[in-house]
Structure 1
Amino acid sequence: MAAITAALIKQVREETGAGMMDVKKALTEAEGDVTRAKEIIRAKGIEAAGKREGRSAQEGTIASTVVDSAAGQTGYAVELNSETDFVAKTPKFVDFAKNVLDQAVKVQASDAEQILAAPSDDGTVKETVEEAASLFGEHVKIGQVAKIEGPHVEIYAHKKSAEMPPSIVAMIATDEAGASVAHEAALQISAMGAKWLTREDVPADVVEAERRVATEKSQAEGKPEQIIPKIVEGRLNAFYKENVLLEQEYVKDTSKSIGDLFKQVGGQALAFARIEVGKGEEE
Structure 2
Amino acid sequence: MANLELVQKMRTQTGAGIMDIKQALEEANGDENQALEILRKKGRKIAAKKQAERTAKDGIVEAYIHAGGKIGSMVLLACETDFVAKNTEFKALAKEIAMQVAAMKPEYVVRDDVPVDVVEKEKEICREQLKQEGKPEAMWEKIAEGKLDKFFEVVCLLDQPYIKDDKKKVKDLIDEATAKLGEKIEVKQMIVFGI
The reply to whether TM is greater than 0.5 is: yes
Question: How far apart are residue 175 of structure 1 and its match?
Answer: 1.8
**Secondary structure in 1 aligned to 2:193?**
strand
1:155 is aligned to 2:63: yes
Give me the whole-angstrom Cα distance separating, in 2, the residues matched to 1:241 and 1:155: 23
Q: TM-score, normalised by structure 1?
A: 0.42
Of the two, which has the highest radius of gyration?
2
Residue number in structure 2 paired with 1:113 = none
Cα deviation 1:255-275 (Å, max 9, x = unaligned): 100111111011221111101
Amino acid across the alignment from 1:197: V
Cα deviation 1:188-214 (Å, max 9, x = unaligned): 111111110001111111111101000
Cα deviation 1:210-261 (Å, max 9, x = unaligned): 0100011011111111111100001111000111000000011011001111
Residue number in structure 1 paired with 2:70 = 167
Question: How far apart are residue 151 of structure 1 and its match?
Answer: 2.2
Give me the whole-angstrom Cα distance separating, in 2, the residues matched to 1:173 and 1:150: 10
1:275 is aligned to 2:193: yes
Residue number in structure 2 paired with 1:213 = 125
The higher-RCO structure (CA 8 Å, 6+ apart) is: 2
Structure 2: where are the runs of 5+ without partners?
Answer: 1-56, 85-89, 179-184
Give me the whole-angstrom Cα distance separating, in 1, the residues matched to 2:129 and 2:122: 10
**Secondary structure in 1 aligned to 2:96?**
helix
| Residues 168 and 274, structure 1, Cα contact 8 Å, conserved in 2 | yes
Amino acid across the alignment from 1:154: E
| Residues 150 and 270, structure 1, Cα contact 8 Å, conserved in 2 | no
Give me the whole-angstrom Cα distance separating, in 2, the residues matched to 1:254 and 1:167: 25
Residue number in structure 2 paired with 1:81 = none
Q: CA RMSD in A?
A: 1.6
Please point out which of 126, 138, 147 is paired with 1:226. 138
Paired residues in the alignment total 124
Question: How far apart are residue 150 of structure 1 and its match?
Answer: 6.1
Task: Name the structure where helix makes up a greater proportion of residues.
Answer: 2
Please point out which of 252, 257, 264 is paired with 2:176. 264
| Residues 153 and 174, structure 1, Cα contact 8 Å, conserved in 2 | yes
Structure 1: where are the runs of 5+ without partners?
Answer: 1-148, 161-165, 278-283
Q: TM-score, normalised by structure 2?
A: 0.60
**Secondary structure in 2 aligned to 1:255?**
strand
Amino acid across the alignment from 2:67: K
| Residues 213 and 150 of structure 1: CA distance in aligned 2, closer, same or farther (over 3 Å) | farther
| Residues 174 and 268, structure 1, Cα contact 8 Å, conserved in 2 | yes
Give me the whole-angstrom Cα distance separating, in 1, the residues matched to 2:188 and 2:58: 7
Give me the whole-angstrom Cα distance separating, in 2, the residues matched to 1:222 and 1:173: 45
Residue number in structure 2 paired with 1:25 = none
Question: How far apart are residue 179 of structure 1 and its match?
Answer: 3.5
Is 244-253 or 149-158 further displaced after alignment? 149-158
**Secondary structure in 2 aligned to 1:273?**
strand
Task: Name the structure where strand makes up a greater proportion of residues.
Answer: 1
